[in-house]
């Protein structure tokens, strides 16, 4: 069942027009009485739509997929993927729908995508629904990443369905409305490569080039240039994750977008005490997607993308493999360059010096050895640059080891052209004081599930300005208390 409503968005569905074979037209499960839980006013304005119109009945009908539009049906996108290293040839949007694409006020094409909108032909036996807690969680983490300057999908809205979702217990249901540069994934290319239509990968590659990496068209080999652009975007993205202690948790190939945006906030979390082996996901028993493994896993995923592009790179298979491998092997150096630049900025070092690598690595080794909170330490270093060493020293159980490192660091800072206060101010612009601390996220989601959105709204407000320290928000600056225990995350399905 659906209702007809004049859309608030001027949808233009290029994916549907150009990529037949990679989607199935589908209708969302009807929501009789949708209730708005959260609306991203800033993002609505960016998309050129009035927030009050989205709150109205016709607006809510669009947000949950109730409204139908002649000639522009919603679609479930098809993709394959390696999930924890095992290939699944047919995944797709099992509980999600692409409503359509809109041009925002800056002229950028953006997908409007539903999650929790009911089962599709790709549901694989699932109920297609989503619960309030995980959908609000994706809203929170996406907004935090956006405020941190990390490319990401964002939530436009979360709408309660009024239905109960059966998981370990009954939970209130919700639909998430997600906005992305696109939802074209490495897994989309894998699905196309396994398709009977030999032209599909080329059509998909041409589409992705035009939409995300148009400069590749001018290259001698546009498809190799496309692969290089995707690889470079991912090297930059993963470096940004690592610089803030973010752990995605489910880096399957179907969760890697060729746009370079972070996509799918399932079992993700932010690290407190620095430990390269940190894993939060309850299903990642072998630590495949641990914090330190994220760069090599990204390269592994990109190798799967390269495999799908080989027929486009050269008619000679050996030549195509050599070309793709040449680009692929550049990933570690590209990643290291992005990460090193970011780490130097976190330490207040404007220009690279040969000794900087050891300085960075030795600090991280100290943090690991003494279980020091990653975010708090880097933020407190700016106080040390201003002359107050106590905030950072107090984080170490054995501060003498830090003191020895800090002497080297201060000697390095003395060679910088800027004054200490200017250096400290620059450090504060890249070292957040507020991140989505896991215990606060869980508190907010539990309260929202019980009907209280207050903690969720307060957390959003805190995370909207992650680099600006504000009085009264001290409880949001530190790691979880010992009573919180070992943290585990779940996919939210």
The reply to whether 333 belongs to the active site is no
Helix (H) or strand (E) holding 100: strand 96-103
* Of the candidates 181, 234, 156, 255, the residue with the CA atom closest to the CA atom of residue 14: 181
C-alpha distances out from residue 82 to 216, 253, 443, Å: 27, 5, 33
Which SS3 state, helix, strand or coil, does residue 248 take? coil
- CA count, 13 A, side-chain hemisphere, 405: 23
Residue 102 has φ and ψ, to the nearest 5°, of -130, 155
Alpha carbon 158 to its chain's center: 18
* Of the candidates 259, 310, 254, the residue with the CA atom closest to the CA atom of residue 80: 254
C-alpha distances out from residue 300 to 17, 83, 285, 335, Å: 31, 12, 19, 13
Pairwise CA distance, residues 6 & 111, whole Å: 19
Given a contact cutoff of 8 angstroms between Cβ atoms, the answer to whether 419 and 397 are in contact is no
Pairwise CA distance, residues 280 & 487, whole Å: 6
* Of the candidates 287, 186, 166, the residue with the CA atom closest to the CA atom of residue 233: 186
Active-site residue, from 254, 264, 272, 373: 254
Residue 336 CB neighbour total at 10 angstroms: 14
Which SS3 state, helix, strand or coil, does residue 169 take? coil
**In sequence order, what E strands does 329-462 have?**
none
For the chain, the residue count is 493
Active-site amino acid positions:
254
């Amino acid at each position: 069942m659906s209702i007809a409503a004049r859309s608030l968005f001027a949808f233009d569905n290029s994916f549907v027009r150009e990529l037949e074979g990679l989607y199935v037209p589908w209708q969302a499960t009807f929501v009789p009485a949708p209730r708005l839980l959260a609306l991203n006013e800033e993002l609505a304005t960016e998309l050129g739509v009035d927030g009050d119109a989205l709150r109205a009945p016709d607006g809510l009908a669009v947000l949950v997929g109730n409204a139908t539009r002649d000639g522009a049906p919603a679609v479930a996108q098809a993709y394959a993927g390696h999930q924890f290293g095992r290939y699944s040839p047919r995944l797709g949007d099992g509980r999600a729908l692409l409503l359509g694409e809109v041009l925002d006020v800056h002229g950028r094409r953006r997908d409007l995508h539903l999650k929790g909108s009911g089962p599709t032909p790709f549901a694989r036996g699932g109920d297609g629904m989503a619960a309030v807690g995980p959908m609000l969680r994706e809203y929170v983490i996406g907004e935090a990443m956006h405020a941190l300057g990390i490319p990401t999908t964002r939530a436009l809205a979360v709408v309660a369905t009024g239905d109960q979702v059966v998981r370990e217990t009954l939970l209130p249901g919700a639909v998430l409305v997600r906005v992305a540069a696109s939802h074209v994934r490495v897994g989309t290319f894998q699905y196309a490569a396994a398709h009977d239509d030999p032209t599909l990968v080329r059509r998909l590659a041409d589409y992705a080039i035009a939409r995300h990496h148009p400069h590749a068209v001018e290259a001698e080999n546009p498809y190799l240039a496309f692969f290089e652009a995707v690889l470079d975007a991912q090297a930059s993205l993963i470096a940004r994750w690592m610089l803030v202690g973010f752990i995605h948790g489910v880096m399957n190939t179907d969760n890697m977008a060729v746009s370079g945006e972070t996509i799918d906030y399932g079992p993700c979390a932010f690290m407190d005490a620095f430990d390269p082996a940190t894993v939060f996901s309850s299903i990642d028993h072998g630590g495949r997607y641990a914090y330190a493994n994220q760069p090599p896993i990204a390269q592994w995923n990109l190798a799967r993308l390269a495999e799908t592009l080989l027929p486009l790179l050269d008619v000679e298979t050996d030549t195509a493999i050599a070309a793709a491998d040449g680009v692929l092997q550049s990933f570690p150096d590209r990643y290291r360059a992005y990460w090193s630049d970011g780490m130097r900025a976190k330490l207040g070092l404007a220009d690279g010096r040969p000794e900087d690598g050891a300085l960075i690595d030795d600090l991280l080794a100290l943090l690991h050895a003494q279980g020091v909170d990653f975010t708090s330490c880097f933020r407190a270093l700016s106080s040390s640059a201003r002359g107050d060493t106590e905030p950072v020293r107090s984080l170490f159980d054995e501060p003498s080891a830090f003191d020895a490192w800090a002497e080297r660091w201060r000697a390095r800072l003395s060679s910088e052209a800027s004054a200490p206060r200017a250096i400290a101010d620059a450090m504060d612009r890249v070292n957040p004081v507020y991140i989505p601390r896991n215990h606060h996220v869980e508190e907010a989601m539990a309260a929202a599930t019980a009907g209280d959105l207050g903690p969720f709204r307060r957390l959003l407000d805190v995370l909207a300005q992650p680099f600006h320290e504000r009085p009264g928000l001290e409880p949001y600056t530190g790691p979880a208390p010992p009573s919180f225990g070992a943290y585990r995350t779940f996919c939210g399905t």
